[in-house]
Structure 1
Amino acid sequence: MLLAGPRRGTGERPANVTGRTRLTPLHVAHTRRAGIVTPMGTTPGRVLARVTAVPVLALSAWLIVAFPLLLVGTFTPLAGVLLGVPAVLAAVLFVPRLLPDIEDAPWWPVVAVLVVSVAFAVVQLAYHSEQLVIRRDPASYAQFTIWIAQHGSLPIPQHEELIAGDDPALSYDSLAYYEVGDVIWPQFLAGTPLLLSIGYWIAGVEGMVLVPPILGALGILSFAGLAARLIGARWAPLAALVLAISLPQQWVSRSTYSEPAAQILLIGALLLAVDALAWRVPARGRPGAPHALAFAAGLAFGLGLVVRIDALRDILPVVGFLGLLLVARRGQAVPMLVGLLLGLGYGFTAGYGLSRPYLDYLSDSLHPLLALGAGVVALTAAATAILWRHGIPRTDRPAWLPTAVAAVSVLIMAGFALRPLIRVEYGHGDAATGYYIGQVQQIEGLPIDPDRTYEEMSLYWVGWYVGLGAVAMATAGVALLLNRILRRRAGAWVLPLMVLSWSVVTTLLRPAITPDHPWAARRLVVLVIPAFVLFAVWFAAWAVRRLRGASPAGGTTSWYTAPVAALGVFALLVPTTITAAGVMGYRTDVGSIQAARDLCEDIPDDGSVIVVDGGTMSNFGQLIRGMCGVPTAHLEQPTPAEVERVTAEVRERERVPVLAGGEAEQVVPYLPPGVPATQPFNVNTEQDMSTLMRPPDGAWRFVGNVWLAVLP
C-alpha cells in the first residue's frame, strides 16, 4: 500500500550504504531507483535536488530567527548578521545533504532550470517597481519594511506629544495603517517585510525594491524542483519556463507583494515533503533524514501563515494528509506535525500579536476559515482514531471508483467553465470597491454594474494567463492522476495533488479580491497557476511516454511523437507569452524614490506635519512618518481657525509646523502672507492598468503630488 508502513513482524530493512534508513520508495510515476547511493561526488540529480531546495530552507531559517527579533523589538542589522545569517547558512549547507538525488537527471536540465531562473530575475530587475505611495498593497508592504528596517520594532508610535497632544481634531491612521489607542499598527503580516528588510539594510530603499525579483526567481527555482521530482528532470525546464513567462508571476515579482515569498514556502514545503516521503520509514524507526526533511516540510507549510493569512486555507489538506500518515504508521508523520505546529505558532503570533487590527478587519471571512480549520482538525482526529486499528481503506475497490472520481474532477472543471452562463456573482462588501468597479466598467465600455464581482470568470482568468490548452491539459492530467492514485500507483503525488487541487477549487470558487486585472491575478500566483502548469506538463509528459511505449525509460517511438510533444509545448508557451506581453515595456511608479527624498529634504528635522486633506493622508501619511521620520497627523475638518489653533500647539512644543496637501489650493488658504507652498513630490509616470473582461495589455498614468508649506 502506498501510504502504509511495513508489515508488523516482517523485519523489513533497506539496502543501507549511507547510514540512512531507506526503504521502498513511494515514487511510481517517477520512481527513484533503489540500490546504492554514493555519498560522495557531484551528480546532476544531486545538484538539481539540492539547489532547488535552497530557497525554502533559506526563507524558513531567516523567518524562524527574524520574527522573534521583531517580536521583542530587536530586529536590527547587527542581530540579523549575528543570528539570522548563521541560521540560514546552517540550513542551506547541511539540510540539502539529506535530500535524495533526483533520478535520471542529465546536466542539461540543471543548466536550463538555472538559466530560466536567472533570466527571470534579470528581466524583473530591469522592470522593477518603485511603489512607495500607498494605493494598494505593494506600497503598504514597502512602508512596513522601511519602518521595521529602521526601528526594529512594532507598533509605530504616533508621537502625538510632538504635534498637539491628544487634540480630538487630529487623526493618525492612513490607508493600511490603523490607529489603535496611541499607536499605529500596519495592516499586513510581517513575513514579507522581514525578507525585504535585508535589501533595505544593504542598499536602502533602492535595495528593498530589488528583493522581489530575486524572490520571484527563487519561486521559479523551487517550482522547477517540484516538477523535477514529480514529473522528471527533463520536464522541469519546460515547467519553469511556462511559470516564468506567465504574466502574474512576472507582475508580482516586480513590486513588494507577499505572493513570491508565500510561493517559495508552500511549493518548497511540497518539495521537501516529497523527498521526506521517498523513504518508507516505520513509526518507531530510528530518526534520520526522512524525519528531518518531514519536520522542515511541516515548518515551511506553517511559516506560510507568517507571510499571508490565506495560507491557512491552503494548508488545510496537510492536516488530512497527516492523518493518513499516522494511520499508515509512517515515521514522518510526527516530525511533520511538530514542524507544522511550530510554523503555525509563528503565524498566529504574527497575526494576533502584530497585525490584530488587520485580522479584525478580515473577521467576516477569517472566522469562517478558522471554524473550517477546526472542523478539519476534528474530522481528521476522529477519522484517524476510527481507522487506527483497520488501516487505510482500499481505494481501488470497487474497480469503478477511481474512474468515477476522475470523472467527477472533470465535471468540476466543466462547472467552472459553464459558471458564467449560469450565474453572475454580486456583492463586494463595501461601497468604495463598487464605485471603483463602476469606473473601470465605464472605461472598458462595459455595462455599468458596480456590484458585480466577476468571480464567475475565475477559470477564464487562468485561461488568459496560461492558455485554454493548458487548462484542458491540466484537467486531463488531474483526472489521470486521481485514477492512478486511487489505484495505488502514484503515491508521490498524494500530498501535492491534495494541496494544489484544494487551492485551485477554493480559489476559483471564491477569489475574494477586487476583480480588476492584473490586480486579481494575485490570487492565482501562489499555487493556482503553478498547479495548472504542473498538471499540464505532467499530462504532456505522460502523453509522450505513452506514445513512446508507455514506459518512462522509452521504447518504440512513433513518427507522431515529436509533433505531439511540440504541440503540447506550443499550447503551453505561446498563449502564455502573448498575454505576458501586456506587462512588458513599462515600469510602475518610476521616480517615486527620488521624489520621496525631495519631500523629506523639504521638511525640517524638527517639523511636525499636519495633512489638511484626507486623500493625501491616506496615500502619503506613513511615507512622511516613516521615510521622513517626522510626526504626522491629519486635520479632519480643516478651517483657518482650526489650522491656526493646531499649528500654535505645535509651536508650543518647540516644533516647526508643516502643512501638507495634494494640491496647492488645499494648502494656500491656510498660509500667512509671504509663506510659499512648494511641490517637492511631483511624479507623473506609469502604473498598472485595470481591466475586467480581458487581460491587461498596457499601463495607465499615475500622478502623485504633495504640496508643503513650512510655517514660521
Structure 2
Amino acid sequence: MDGTWLDHSRWPSAGRVLAAVSIMPALALAGWLLAGLPLLLLGWFRPLPMLLFGGALAVALCVYGARLEREDDAADATVWHVAATCGIAAASAVFNGIFHSEQLVIRRDPATYAQYAVWLADHGSLPIPYGTAAFGGPDPALVPSSVGVYDYGGAIVPQFMPGAPIVQAIGHWLGGVSGLLLVPPVLGGLAVLTVAGVVARLVGARWAPLAALAFAVALPVLYTSRTTFSEIPSLILIFGGIALALDTRARPRAAALAGLVFGLAVLVRIDGLRDVLPVLAYAGLLIALRRRQGRGERYARMGLPLLGGLAVGVGLGFLAAYSLARPYLSYLSDSVLPLLAICAVVLAATVAGAVLGPRIIPAGWKAMRGGRAARWLPGLAAGLVVLVTLGLAARPWVQTVHRVAKAEGDVLNAKFIVMTQLANGLPPDPSRLYYENSLYWVIWYVGVPVVVLATLAAAVLARRMALGRGFVWLLPLAIIGWTTVTTLWRPAITPDHPFASRRLVPVIVPGLILLAVWGLRWMWARARQAGYGPRVQRSLLAAGGALVLLPAVVTSIGTAFSPIERGESAQVAKLCEALPRDASVLIVERVTGERFTQVVRGMCRLPVAQVRPSGEAGAAAGANADINLAAPADVTRLAGRIRSAGRSPVVLAAQQAQLAPYGPATQVVKLRTRQDERSLVDPPNGTWSLTIDVWMAVPPTS
C-alpha cells in the first residue's frame, strides 16, 4: 500500500460535496420522470422497466451533475456546514416519517394522489377501465366516476398531472401502502437539502444550516412532507433548476440540464408553468446578450441550451396534460387559459427580444447610464419592491375577494366554505375566498421578521441589478418575485388552513427564507463595516437567527406532533378483506361513493360503481327521504344483472339503516381518528375529529 488513499488533497472539498449532493435530488427526479412518462404512455410503467431506464437515467444525471461542480462552488463550506445541513435534512425526513399521515380515503387532494400512485404501481397504464361487464353491461344508473377521477371518453381518468404519482409509486413497489406513505417524508428531507444548496451558492455555505432549519420547521413544509402532495417534488425541481443554472455558468452547454429540470416541474403541477415562466424570459435575455457580446460572455452562452432544455421539459408536461389530464385541465380552464395566454405573450416578447435585443440593449443601456435614468432607476426598483409588499399588507383594508359559484365544483366548494365558516364561528358567506389575507398567511408561517428581511434583501438586490451589478441574482429573484406576487394575488385554492398553505411551498416559503438569510448576512456585513466588534456581531447573528426561526416554530408547534388520519390503512385493508373476491360493488350513498369508489377499485382491486342518487324518488317518498341515496329499485335491478354476469353483488353505504332494503348489514369500516383543522382567519393550531363508517350488505337472491 502506498498510502495515497490517506492523501486528503485527493478528496473533494466540502464546498464541492455540498454543491453536488444538493442538486442530486432534482437530477434523480428528472431521470425518473424522463423514463416514467414514456413508459406510462406505452402502458409499461412497471418495476423492472423503470429500474432499468428510470434508475439508470437518474444515476447517469446525478453522476454528470456531480462532475459539473467545481472546487469554488460554495467555497466557504466546511465539513461542519455540510454535516449540519445534511443532518437537518435527514432529521426532517425522520421526524416527518414518524408523524406521517395516512390519507387514503378520498376526501381531499392527498388521497387522490395516493390512489393515483396505487393504480400506477399496480397496473402501469392509464386510463382506468370501466369494467361495466362486471355489472352486466352499461346502465344509466351506474356512475363509475367519483372525487379524484373523471368519467371521460369511455374510461376513467385520474385528476392531476402524473408527475407526482410517478415518483410516489416507487414507495408502493418497495413497501406496499406503508412504503407509499413514507415517500413524502423522504422527499421533504431532499427538499431541505435542495433549498440549503441554493442558499449555499447565493448567500454562503455557513448560512445554509440556518436556512435549512428555518425551512424544515415551517408548518407548510411539515404539512406537505407528511402526505402525498405534489408541491414538494415541484419545489425540488424548481430550486434544483436554480442551483444547476448557477453551476453551469462555466459550462454553458450544460445549462440544457437546468432548463430540463425547470421544465419538468410542469409534469408535476400544471401551476409549474407559471413558476418557470421567468426562465423563458431569462433565456431570451441571454440569447440577446450573446448575439451582441460574442461567445466569450459566460452568462450569455447559456441562453440557447437553457431554452432548449426548458422546451423539452415543458413539452413533456404538455404531452402528459393532453394525453392523461384533459378533464382536469378543462375543470381548471378559468385559470389555465389565462396562464396560457400570458405564456404566449412572454414567448412572443422573448423571441422579439432575442432578435432585436442586440440592437436595443446596448443603445438603451448607454442612454440609461448617461441620462437621468441612471439616477432614479435604482431607487425606483428598490421602492417598487417595498410598495408591492406594503400593497399586499394593506389589501384586506381595501378589498374583499368574492367569487360567485357557477360551475358544479365551485358550488360544492361554496357549500364547503359555509360549513367551515360556521365551524369557525364566522358569518356564512359562500362567496368569500379570503384571498386578500394571503400575505398574512405567509406571516403566520414564517413570521414578520422573515417577510421584512426578505423585502429588504429584494429591494437591495433590485437596486444593485439596476446599477448593473449582481446579475447572478436575476433568475432566482425573478422566479421568487413573480411567483410570490401572482400566487398571493390569486392563490386559487380553498382557503382553509393548513390545506391552503400548500400554495406557499414550491417557491414562496423557500424563496423568502433564502432572501431573509441574505438580508441577515447583509446586515451583519454592514455591522462589520461600521466597525462593531465581534461581540456585537455575534449578538446580531444570534438575534437574527432567533427572529428567523422562532415565529415559524411557534406556529408549527400546535400541529407538529399531531399525525392526522391515522388508521386509514388498516381500515381500508379491513374493507378489502371483507369484500368477496367475486364481488361487484355498488355504493348507494353519495358521500361513501365519493370517498370509496376509487379506493375499492384501486386497493381492493374489484369492479365498483356508485348508483346514481335519485332525487325524484327521494322527494316522492316524503320530506324525510335522503336524496343522496340511490333508489332501491335501481339497486335491485343492478344486483340481478350482476348475478347474471356470474358475480356477487355487494352494497355499501354509510349507515346500517341505509342498507335495510338489501338484507342484513355488517360494518366493514369504523374509523375514529383526527383530521386537519379548517381555519379561515387564524393560523391552525390543532386538529379536528374525523369519523368514517361503512356498512356492507349482500342483496338476497330474488
TM above 0.5, yes or no, is yes
Q: How does 1:306-705 map to 2 (within 5 A)?
A: 306-329=267-290, 330-391=300-361, 393-394=364-365, 397-427=373-403, 429=405, 430-549=410-529, 557=533, 559-636=535-612, 637=614, 638-671=630-663, 676-705=664-693
RMSD of Structure 2 on Structure 1 (CA)? 1.5
Return the letter of the residue paired with 1:324: L
Partner Cα distance (1:237, 1:64) in 2: 31
Correspondent of 1:265 among 237, 242, 245: 237
Partner Cα distance (1:428, 1:706) in 2: 35
1:346 shift after superposition: 0.8
**Larger helix fraction of residues:** 2
- Which residue of structure 2 aligns with residue 291 of structure 1? 253
- Which residue of structure 2 aligns with residue 12 of structure 1? none
Extract structure 1 runs of 4+ deviating beyond 4 A: none
In the TM superposition, what whole-angstrom CA distance separates every residue of 1:344-365 from its partner, at most 9, and x where no partner exists?
A: 1110011111011000111111
Partner Cα distance (2:386, 2:631) in 1: 63
Three-state SS of the structure 2 residue aligned to 1:583 is coil
Q: How does 1:184-263 map to 2 (within 5 A)?
A: 184-263=156-235
1:556 shift after superposition: 6.6
Correspondent of 1:173 among 145, 150, 171: 145
1:39 shift after superposition: 10
1:327 shift after superposition: 1.1
- Which residue of structure 1 aligns with residue 24 of structure 2? 54
Partner Cα distance (1:266, 1:107) in 2: 26
Partner Cα distance (1:62, 1:426) in 2: 41
Partner Cα distance (1:447, 1:355) in 2: 37
Partner Cα distance (1:593, 1:525) in 2: 27
Q: Which shows bigger deviation, 150-159 or 97-106?
A: 97-106
Partner Cα distance (2:529, 2:66) in 1: 35
Q: Which shows bigger deviation, 356-365 or 634-643?
A: 634-643
Report if aligned partners of 1:547, 1:558 keep a CA contact under 8 Å in 2: no
Three-state SS of the structure 2 residue aligned to 1:705 is strand
Correspondent of 2:67 among 97, 101, 122: 97
Report if aligned partners of 2:68, 2:247 keep a CA contact under 8 Å in 1: no
Partner Cα distance (1:170, 1:390) in 2: 63
- Which residue of structure 2 aligns with residue 34 of structure 1? none
Partner Cα distance (1:96, 1:688) in 2: 40
Report if aligned partners of 2:157, 2:325 keep a CA contact under 8 Å in 1: yes
Partner Cα distance (2:140, 2:422) in 1: 40
TM-score using structure 1 length: 0.90
Partner Cα distance (1:94, 1:532) in 2: 30
In the TM superposition, what whole-angstrom CA distance separates every residue of 1:617-675 from its partner, at most 9, and x where no partner exists?
A: 1110000011111111111133332222111100110011011111111112222xxxx
- Which residue of structure 2 aligns with residue 160 of structure 1? 132
Report if aligned partners of 2:438, 2:488 keep a CA contact under 8 Å in 1: yes
Three-state SS of the structure 2 residue aligned to 1:156 is coil
Three-state SS of the structure 1 residue aligned to 2:609 is strand
Distance 1:115 1:654, change over 3 A: same
- Which residue of structure 2 aligns with residue 8 of structure 1? none
Report if aligned partners of 1:157, 1:184 keep a CA contact under 8 Å in 2: yes
Partner Cα distance (2:632, 2:416) in 1: 33
- Which residue of structure 1 aligns with residue 4 of structure 2? none
Report if aligned partners of 1:45, 1:102 keep a CA contact under 8 Å in 2: yes
Three-state SS of the structure 2 residue aligned to 1:513 is coil
Partner Cα distance (1:252, 1:266) in 2: 16
Three-state SS of the structure 2 residue aligned to 1:184 is strand
Report if aligned partners of 1:61, 1:91 keep a CA contact under 8 Å in 2: yes
Report if aligned partners of 1:319, 1:377 keep a CA contact under 8 Å in 2: yes
Q: Which runs of 5+ in 2 are unaligned?
A: 1-7, 291-299, 615-629
Three-state SS of the structure 2 residue aligned to 1:692 is coil
Three-state SS of the structure 2 residue aligned to 1:209 is helix
Three-state SS of the structure 2 residue aligned to 1:400 is helix
Partner Cα distance (2:404, 2:29) in 1: 34
1:303 shift after superposition: 0.2
1:203 shift after superposition: 0.6
Report if aligned partners of 1:656, 1:711 keep a CA contact under 8 Å in 2: no
Report if aligned partners of 1:74, 1:153 keep a CA contact under 8 Å in 2: yes
Return the letter of the residue paired with 1:291: R
Three-state SS of the structure 1 residue aligned to 2:564 is coil
- Which residue of structure 2 aligns with residue 114 of structure 1? 86
Report if aligned partners of 1:603, 1:710 keep a CA contact under 8 Å in 2: no
Return the letter of the residue paired with 2:345: G
Report if aligned partners of 1:549, 1:557 keep a CA contact under 8 Å in 2: no
Return the letter of the residue paired with 1:445: G
Partner Cα distance (2:229, 2:31) in 1: 20
Return the letter of the residue paired with 1:175: V
Q: Which shows bigger deviation, 437-446 or 71-80?
A: 437-446
Partner Cα distance (2:634, 2:441) in 1: 50
TM-score using structure 2 length: 0.91
Distance 1:445 1:641, change over 3 A: closer
Partner Cα distance (2:695, 2:20) in 1: 53
- Which residue of structure 1 aligns with residue 294 of structure 2? none
- Which residue of structure 1 aligns with residue 3 of structure 2? none
Partner Cα distance (1:566, 1:165) in 2: 70
Distance 1:496 1:428, change over 3 A: farther
1:565 shift after superposition: 1.9
Partner Cα distance (1:238, 1:479) in 2: 22
Partner Cα distance (1:417, 1:558) in 2: 36
Q: Which shows bigger deviation, 483-492 or 465-474?
A: 483-492
In the TM superposition, what whole-angstrom CA distance separates every residue of 1:398-434 from its partner, at most 9, and x where no partner exists?
A: 2221111111110111000111111111116422222
- Which residue of structure 1 aligns with residue 111 of structure 2? 139
1:261 shift after superposition: 0.4
- Which residue of structure 1 aligns with residue 264 of structure 2? 303
Partner Cα distance (2:107, 2:378) in 1: 49
Partner Cα distance (1:498, 1:428) in 2: 33
Partner Cα distance (2:415, 2:517) in 1: 41
- Which residue of structure 1 aligns with residue 621 of structure 2? none
Partner Cα distance (1:640, 1:415) in 2: 58
Report if aligned partners of 2:280, 2:347 keep a CA contact under 8 Å in 1: yes
